[in-house]
Amino acid sequence: MRLHVSQSIMEHLEGKYFIKNNHLLNAADFNPYITSAGRSVYEVIRIVNGIPLFMEEHLERLKSSVILINQPLFVSADEIRRQVQDLIEQCAMHEGNVKLTLHFSQDATEPPHDFYVYFIEHFYPAEDEYHGGVDTITFKAVRNNPNAKVADLELRERVNLEIKKRNVFEAILLDDEGFITEGSRSNIFMIKDSCIYTTPLLNVLPGITRSKILEICRLQNHKLVEKRLNPAELAEMDAVFLTGTSPKILPIKRVDDMIFASASHPLVIAVMEQYDDLVASYINNYL
């Protein structure tokens, strides 16, 4: 299970309100440096038509994250659900990303823990990016612990600078041995001869969207192989796509100098449609 731990991150609040410890507060009172000290575990949930998408999986991962850092889960799943719904209604924001943050203070003069629910800035791909694919680069970077999402500000800054410099959508990370792991904010899937490849879970973030792709592969009998691949093997692939809370399933057009017709690949199109069907089914059956 991948642990989400954040340190020294400035938050960018969206909306008129946020919730702290079950109290609705004005956005003007929000401290953007709530995770600058102590430890925090978090989840980011996409809101679609006013519904928190795949809420159960996010709450389960939040619970597991708290257990892994030996801290108490001081708010129940039902309380979290209610607070998320309250924030959606109070902010009148039915599309966007909501962040849940469980913050644990290491300062004896402060409360031992706080729970926050708030909308954050989100960046969704444009329609032409889904239809044509996006440009990416490879970037050698190793997370200190691939099974724990620890915010590495130095790494994040280096990756962001390179993404901006190269004018690309995402950076695909390579480990010390040169193997592909994941995107800096996404998971990566590759297709060759109607077989879908992805990096083994041990080496990557167990993304919620990633797990839904694995579910689709089982339901639709798509052949799936979890295997470590290097850029030379990537060059032999027929198509590549990334997954994540904000991009959903996004075809990749270019990785460095490698060009892929991912957006027109029949299996990529099929998986995108099947994922959208999964989302629609979840929304229609949400209680």
Q: Write down the CATH number for the domain with range 3-120.
A: 3.30.470.10
Show Cβ contacts of residue 108 under 8 Å, excluding neighbours closer than 6 positions.
none
- For 18, phi then psi, to 5°, come to -145, 170
**C-alpha angle 110-114-117 in degrees, rounded to nearest 5:** 145
CATH 3.30.470.10 domain residues, the chain? 3-120
Listed in sequence order, the residues at least 6 apart from 36 whose beta carbon sits closer than 8 Å to its beta carbon are 7, 8, 9, 10
Q: Which CATH number applies to 127-283?
A: 3.20.10.10
Which residues of the chain form CATH 3.20.10.10?
127-283
Spell out the per-residue pLDDT of the chain, length 287, in tens.
444 444 445 788 999 999 999 999 999 999 988 877 778 888 999 999 999 999 999 999 888 888 878 888 899 999 999 999 999 999 999 999 999 999 998 776 677 899 999 999 999 999 999 999 999 999 998 766 544 444 455 677 788 899 999 999 999 999 999 999 999 889 999 999 999 999 998 888 888 999 999 999 999 999 999 999 999 999 999 999 999 999 999 999 999 999 999 999 999 999 999 999 999 999 999 87
* Structural contact between residues 162 and 169, judged by C-beta atoms closer than 8 angstroms: no
Detail the DSSP E strand segments found in the chain. 3-5, 13-20, 23-26, 39-48, 51-52, 96-104, 113-120, 134-140, 148-150, 170-174, 180-183, 187-192, 195-198, 223-226, 239-244, 248-255, 258-259
DSSP state of 125: P
Q: What is the pTM of this model?
A: 0.88
